[in-house]
Chain A
Amino acid sequence: VTPWIRPAIMILALLVIVVLLALILLDVRAELTGKRTIGQHIQRWARRYVVLSSGIVFVLGALLAHFFWQP
């Protein structure tokens, strides 16, 4: 087993977690200060571009099915 696998997994996992945490905290801050949240910005965009946002959901679903389901 190559020696860089464990650190690579840790760095990738922490990167995903840190990005999600940052988005959540910015969302909470905006919610508490009465400003429009990141979620609302993206929702507004998704409302306007329904086909594009549906496409992203489709790609995300296909990717996760490929990662965890496809042999």
Chain B
Amino acid sequence: VVTTRKAVSVGGLLTAAAVLCVCGVSIVIANPLLDVGACGTNSKTVPWPVWVAFVTAGVVAFGLGSLLGHWRDLVNEIEEEAYPGSLTADAGLRADERRRRRAETVRLFLAVALTLLTGLLAYETWAVWNGSPWWAITDFVRCASNAAMWQTLVASTALLFLAGHWLWHPKRGART
């Protein structure tokens, strides 16, 4: 059953996907023309008032993602968690096994993601602190934000939208 909430959720996600596709195509097309003259180690941030746009868009996207997360349809989650009364012992065991496998997958994904994040942060700290011969992550991001400004703005906004959508939400009881 397609509810209004589900339609809004899917519509929002597909819109985000379409915007990201436009960004990707424009990056590929405009790549040979990018002005990368300002790039290098210790590169500068985007100028005033562009950085205000980055910060404001990020905060607004985080808030919007959080609001959409509050409003999201939770029917499929609740249905998956519920044990139907007519469930046989065998089917119950299979359901438990499915949940255990799913929980292991989520744990593995989180462990890999958090390890990757820690590694990247360690590299960034080392590169910024020591003045590494290799570029710090900051240099890549600042280079991209200067050379491909609106694409970087869209990508950072999309990241914060997803962070707000997934990580900032009320307790389930508050919205059901």
* Residues of chain A whose beta carbon lies under 8 Å from any beta carbon of chain B: 1, 5-10, 12-14, 16-18, 20-21, 23-25, 27-28, 30-32, 34-37, 39-47, 53-54, 56-57, 59-61, 64-71
Contact = CB atoms under 8 A, between A and B. Distances in A.
Interface in B98-131: 102, 106, 110, 117, 121
A30 to B, nearest CB: 8
A70 B165 CA distance: 26
Interface of B: 6, 9-10, 13-14, 16-17, 20-21, 23-24, 27-28, 31-32, 34, 36-37, 39, 44-46, 51, 54-55, 58, 69, 72-74, 76-77, 79-80, 102, 106, 110, 117, 121, 138, 140-145, 147-148, 151-152, 155-156, 158-160, 162-163, 165-169, 171-172
B163 A57 contact: yes
A57 B169 CA distance: 12
Contacts of B142: 67-68
B31 A10 contact: yes
A24 B69 CA distance: 14
Contact of B145 (A5, A28, A57, A68): A68
A13 B148 contact: yes
A60 B61 CA distance: 13
Contacts of B165: 39
A71 B17 contact: no
